[in-house]
Amino acid sequence: MNFAGTFLPVTTPFDKVTGDVDVVAFRSNLRRWFEHPISGILIAGSTGESVFLDEAERVTLLEAAADVVPEGKIVIMGTGSEATRHTIHLTRQAAEFGADAVLVSPPAYFKGAMSPAVLARHYKAVADASPVPVLIYQVPLRLSTLDLPTGLVEDLSQHPNIVGIKDSRGKLELVGELVEHSADDFQVLVGSGALLYGALETGAVGGIVAVGLLAAAEAAEISVAHAEGRTADAGRVQERIAPIHQEIVGGMGVPGVKAALDMLGLYGGPPRPPLEPSPPGRIDEIRRLLGTAELLREASLTPP
């Protein structure tokens, strides 16, 4: 499976009254995003508030996506869990309901016990049992997670069903390290929307970037332009949208992304508690940032 290009880690819309997954809004957002040449989507990633979703909701999202995802586009499902057994269960369930691949975050609750050998056994067991290709998820280190050693990833890259990694640490030198030390057919994707162009230059095949939720055309263009040899164009677009990743995606997290989606005419809506919506001061800052990046063209650079 070819993971080249730009993927979007889609948000999970929740009904403002009931708090349930809003399937209509989810499909509407997907239709808008797939107007642009993205390679696919990730459901139930960090930006999708995966830790707040139950199993039935994950199935609901996959079934909803099946109705609108264009042919030839890839659907990845986040299936990481703390127990190997449960991760395998979620992975098989994702495959059953239409996921083309899975993204597996490392078990991190018993952090001190998660040696490279333990993690290797975990990932290989999941990959052995998975009906679809497995991507490793190096979760952003600002979250409660593990920093996976390059040697571990190099070992796992030899497994025939572990096909790549999403690296969200936000450091180009570490992306290059993974590219250099992993198997030749192992695909490295970056998770930082500020580094997509640099990662492609370093040897990554693409990215799963939340900034693309707010700038789908631009994030897709970085991958397309780079593939076509228009590196200057790719670099210019990257420079324009990098602050959106740094200030909104990285700086404000899910509440900031959802508030920005509302401003852009997509459905953001509330995050699921205990996360709280962005406060009024941040709403003004989000509006300013989107305007500066020419994403909210009707917005003034100062709050109305």
> What is each CA distance from 200 to 7, 52, 190, 241, 293, in whole angstroms?
14, 32, 9, 16, 22
For 135, which DSSP code?
A: E
Tokens of 25: 């809004």
Chain mean position to CA 193: 10
> What angle in degrees, to the nearest 10, is found between the helix axes of 23-33 and 55-66?
50
Sign of CA dihedral 121, 122, 127, 129: positive
Q: Give the three-state DSSP class for 243.
A: helix
How many C-beta atoms surround the C-beta of residue 1 within 10 A? 13
For 147, which DSSP code?
A: -
Sign of CA dihedral 210, 198, 2, 122: negative
Tokens of 293: 């990046």
Rounded (10°) CA dihedral 228, 77, 265, 143: -100
73 has catalytic annotation:
no
Strand partners, 295: none
Tokens of 118: 């333990």
The size of the chain, in residues, is 304
Q: Give the three-state DSSP class for 298.
A: coil
49: left (phi over 0), alpha (psi -120 to 50) or beta: left
Q: Which residue has the tokens 């730009």?
A: 6
Among 73, 166, 171, 258, which one carries the catalytic annotation? 166
Tokens of 175: 């992306």
Catalytic (active-site) positions: 166
